[in-house]
Structure 1
């Protein structure tokens, strides 16, 4: 089997496992009908969040059995990645805070520190809040989306298109959550401007995470995912204006970072040695 065929089969298998496990679990949560974080609904709800992780495990096991090398665009955790991780976390959080503050200046909902402190207290304290926000989303998903699917997409297309394609897939993957009681998606509603903006917001997030993965591996993608999710919860982004502004800011920041990173790569790529000109044969 050629490298391209292996990449294609790996993508298909990953998507099948990821969607099948997540959507089946969330289907059970929908049938149970209770709030997402309350028993017994919490079990299939959290299980579904690990769909990308299950997909990653299946792909890694198959690769091990077949003794295949890692995809060419896989990023190991470089030592410099440890330095990049806090920077990436701050960048992701800043895009959310920036959008919320601009919305406030334009007449949108105020940004309140008291609301953030209340949320942390209701979550059981800072450690519990961080643990929940880290596990549900960043850790349960990034080893799959960025650590497994992204390198295989990069083998078939450029960084920008890989990020866009993964963003669309990631957005579609979230659809069942609109029907699970107690989720942010359910509160927005699917056929509303807020619901559609949420689905759109996943795409620039995918681009930011792709940049982070290239810089610091899966750890960088986890940092971006956690920084954005946690800040969105703390700021309490529930209205359309801050949602839309955050989407716009994240899109601009992601495109700028990807463009700068691309230019840096081009600048460090040695030019081929000049060749002797010979007549073309026709």
Structure 2
């Protein structure tokens, strides 16, 4: 009997790596770029000496913050060359984003404010609006302050940590494990800032209780921003990062008791959010290539 041509799978020597291999390769490259750019810049600032508020130290200090963003852009270009679509949570703005981003921003800010209020009876400093006004004046006014808080941290980091690293880690990890691991990596990434005069980390001190608590705080923050990413993408994770950073700066949070209270409140909230909701994003499937199937 005549046989018809059928498609049978075969392994071609030039076949693209499997999706898990791509995730690991992209994640490794991202980490190398993020740490390489940031640490090279920040240790240059350490070598130059002086404060981050003065030239020339301020230039490598500012550039170093963009290591994760640069890493994310490189991975995106790499993904585009492979013909893979961008994850929907990274670039698309949906109606849900307009709902979730402001809501999560307010919720994130409330974690810091409520923790500061709870810490006061336990020995923490009282809240003062005068401190907030002084911070904004030093930054050049409310508008300049808010712009600087968006760029320095949220915008320079979230496309990398949440938009690039987190979904690739989720391909092989659960939500809590991914948050724990990424939070620890995030803490290590901040390490050079403890040695640069004029940074928040330098004021806290690497070996002080406040410095240790700063490092620990990256874990619940990683979980909160990851939840925001799952809900409404990078814009939402930027909103959460911005809200926490801005509220802490305005309240001048440095006392260990206040830091510890914030960690506790955010850990409880992140645990509730992650255990009572299902993830809305899934790792993108691998894209078939022309060499995946051959006709005989």
Contact persistence 1:73–1:154 (CA under 8 A):
no
Contact persistence 1:35–1:41 (CA under 8 A):
yes
Deviations 1:143-175 (A, max 9, x none): 111111111111111122111111111111000
* Equivalent position to 2:132, from 116, 119, 123: 116
Can you give the 5+ residue segments of structure 2 that lack an aligned partner in the other structure?
1-16, 281-296
Deviations 1:11-58 (A, max 9, x none): 100000000000000011101111113211111001000000010011
Whole-angstrom CA distance in 2 between matches of 1:36 and 1:70: 36
Alpha carbon RMSD of aligned pairs, Å? 1.5
* Equivalent position to 2:111, from 95, 120, 131: 95
* 1:77 to partner: Cα distance: 3.2
* 1:70 to partner: Cα distance: 3.7
Contact persistence 2:89–2:233 (CA under 8 A):
no
Corresponding pairs, count = 264
Alignment of 1:47-58 (within 5 A): 47-58=63-74
For normalisation by structure 1, the TM-score amounts to: 0.90
* 1:73 to partner: Cα distance: 7.9
Whole-angstrom CA distance in 2 between matches of 1:221 and 1:9: 24
Contact persistence 2:42–2:60 (CA under 8 A):
yes
* Equivalent position to 1:15, from 31, 37, 42: 31
* Larger Rg, first or second structure (1 or 2): 2
Contact persistence 2:90–2:234 (CA under 8 A):
no
State which drifts further: 17-26 or 107-116.
107-116
- Structure with higher helix content: 1
- 2:150 equivalent in structure 1: 134
Deviations 1:213-272 (A, max 9, x none): 01110000000000000000000111110011001111111111111213x87xxxxxxx
Can you give the 5+ residue segments of structure 1 that lack an aligned partner in the other structure?
266-282
Instruction: Specify whether residues 73 and 221 from structure 1 end up closer, same or farther in structure 2 by C-alpha distance, changes over 3 A only.
Output: closer
Contact persistence 2:89–2:234 (CA under 8 A):
no
Contact persistence 1:26–1:177 (CA under 8 A):
yes
Alignment of 1:161-176 (within 5 A): 161-176=177-192
* 1:72 to partner: Cα distance: 8.7
Whole-angstrom CA distance in 2 between matches of 1:209 and 1:189: 25
1:5 aligns with 2:7: no
- 2:75 equivalent in structure 1: 59
